[in-house]
Amino acid sequence: VTPREIAAGVFYLALRGANVYFVSSGSSWTLIDTAWPKSGPAIRAAAEGLFGADARPAAIMLTHAHPDHVGSAAELARAWGLPIHLHGDDLPLITRAGRARQDLMDPAGRYAQALMRLLPRRTRERMTSSGLEGAARAFSAEGSVPSLSDWECVPTPGHSAGHVVFFRRSDRVLIAGDAVLTVPLWGLLPSVQRISPPPRIASWNWRMTKGSVAILARLEPLVLATGHGIPMAGADLARGLYAFADSFSQTIGS
Ligand SMILES: [Zn+2]
Ligand SMILES: [Zn+2]
C-alpha cells in the first residue's frame, strides 16, 4: 500500500476506508489521524517508505477522537514514544468519566453508544481506545500547529465537539477530517467522489456540523482531503463547497 501525494509534501493513505495523512513541514513530518485499530504496522510501513527506515513523526495529530481516526493512535504513540494531540473538547470521547458525561448531553452520542453496545466487548474496548488515557494531550486549537509551522488549525465543532481541521494557506490545502466528506454514505460507495455530509447518526451536533461546513467553504480550498473518500482538487472545488454548504444549511434538522 503506497501513500499518494495530493499536494507538495502531503500524502494520503486509505486504510479500511479511513484516511491518514503524512505531512512534511521543514525537516520533519506529522501524522494526521491513525485510522482503525490495528492499522499501526501499515502506517509505519508507509511512513518508512516515504521518509526512510525508522521514520518517526514530530507529532501525532487527530482531527477528532472517533474510533476510525483514533484507532491506532495508542499503538503508534507507544511505538514512537510520542503523545497524541487533539482538541480538549474531544478528550471526553477517550476518557471514561467524560464519556459518561457526553452520553447524557446529546442524542447522537446516545445512538453511537447504543450501536457500540451491539459489538463484542473486546472489539468495543479496542475501539474506545482506553490505552489513550495517558497519552492524549489537548492542544489549543486556535491558530498555529506546533509541528506544522506552515499550517493553521481551525476548530470545526459539530461532527464531534472538539473536531478540528488543518489548513495550509499558501496553497489552500485542507485536511478536513469528517467535518465534510468527499464520498457519500461514509464510503459505502467508495468509487463515488462527491462532497457529502458526515453521517448524522455519528455526529454530535447537527446544527454545528452545518455551521462548520460553512467555515470550510470560506477557506476556499484548492485541495479537500477528508477522513473518508478520495481527496478532491481543482479550481471548481471552492465553488462546489460553497454550494454544498448552502444546500446543507437548508436541510431539515438541527
Ligand atoms: Zn468521525
Ligand atoms: Zn471518520
Per-residue tens of pLDDT for the chain, all 254 residues: 789 999 999 999 999 999 999 999 999 999 999 999 899 999 999 999 999 999 999 999 999 999 899 999 999 999 999 989 999 888 888 866 555 555 545 555 555 666 666 767 666 665 554 567 778 888 765 677 878 999 999 999 999 999 999 999 999 999 999 999 999 876 667 678 899 999 888 888 999 999 999 999 999 999 999 999 999 999 999 999 999 999 999 987 76
Centre of ligand 2 from the C-alpha of residue 69, in Å? 6
Centre of ligand 1 from the C-alpha of residue 208, in Å? 14
Counting ligands in written order, the one closest to the CA of 187 is 2
- Which whole-number Å values give the CA distances from 28 to 16, 75, 76, 87, 174, in the listed order? 27, 21, 17, 22, 19
Do the strands 143-145 and 136-139 form a parallel or antiparallel pair, or are they unpaired? unpaired
**Residue 196 has what DSSP assignment?**
B
* pLDDT of res. 179: 98
Centre of ligand 2 from the C-alpha of residue 193, in Å? 16
The string over 158-188, giving b where at least 16 C-beta atoms fall within 10 Å of a residue's C-beta and e elsewhere, is: bbbbbbbbbbbeeebbbbbbbbbbbbbebbe
Is residue 142 helix, strand or coil? coil
Q: Which helix (H) or strand (E) holds 54?
A: none
* pLDDT of res. 104: 45
Centre of ligand 1 from the C-alpha of residue 202, in Å? 7
Centre of ligand 2 from the C-alpha of residue 217, in Å? 20
Centre of ligand 2 from the C-alpha of residue 179, in Å? 9
Closest CA to 76 of 49, 116, 122, 45: 45
The cell for 175 is: 485536511
Give the dihedral sign, CA 81/82/83/86: negative
Give the dihedral sign, CA 225/50/86/77: positive
Q: What is the rounded distance in angstroms from the CA atom of residue 93 to the CA atom of residue 86?
A: 11
- Residues, CB-to-ion distance under 5 Å, ligand 2: 68, 178, 227
The whole model's pTM is what?
0.88
Counting ligands in written order, the one closest to the CA of 159 is 1
Across the beta sheet with 10-15, what order do the strands follow?
4-7, 10-15, 18-25, 28-32, 59-61, 84-87, 136-139
